[in-house]
Amino acid sequence: MATDLYVKQAGEGPAVVLLHGLFGASANLGALARALQATYSVFSVDLPGHGRSAWIANPTLPAMAERLRHWMDDASLSRAHFVGHSLGGKVAMELALQQPGRVSSLAVADIAPVAYQAHHNGVFAALEAVASRPCTSREEAGARMAQHLDEDSVIQFLLSSLQRDAQGYYHWRFDLSGLRAAYPALLAAPAGGRTYAGPVLFIKGGASEYIQPQFWPVVQQLFPAATLEVMPGCGHWLHAEKPVLFNSIVTQFLVSLEQRQSDAPDNNLQEN
């Protein structure tokens, strides 16, 4: 089955798959990819409905996870480490719960396996303002968005997903209508009754409210080996706000796992 996922690969070594957040693209985690590619084979993925990947009819968490699994099959990738930010973290968690044997470990950046309240109304309004009529420049798009959003950093992040067509008009690269329709499902918690027992690191932005102490019992039900690390002074975009620290945390997590594996006794050796 062809999955039509856009995937950029760099480096050699154990496989690490990077998954971006809502309305983003693989380039969002480019600094992490560059930090890892000297030691790992890094696969930077555009999620379904985002970037250069194909749009799908129902871009829910299970559907996105299924597309990832099929891509792994097509790429003859039996298992990999996964690093996901926000929506990418939720998709990675869903894949681990669906197919635990395909996931060597999880590093989940500033998201929890819980249901969230809708909080992108302003973002959707800004995106629709650009999509509602022809737009001929990024400046025009930014001005329309500023009528709905106050944070320039958010506007600039979203503008990175504009693309220009042959007639000179700008359009969103992601599937705006599909993601809006699927938005309630993307906010939902992964279904319970499943566990992933492998190593999981949750990385929280210290100034972010996406991971709350009251969420931790749910985390431990689904991911009993989960640990938490907090990045002080960071919001939800922790990988962009403090990239050196974020990259170091992820790298140390992966290195510790590889070291633990190499130090484990060979169960195939027989005692004399």
Residues with active-site annotation: 86, 236
Give yes or no for a contact between 69 and 198, defined as CB atoms under 8 angstroms apart: no
Q: Rounded distance, CA 209 to CA 109, Å? A: 12
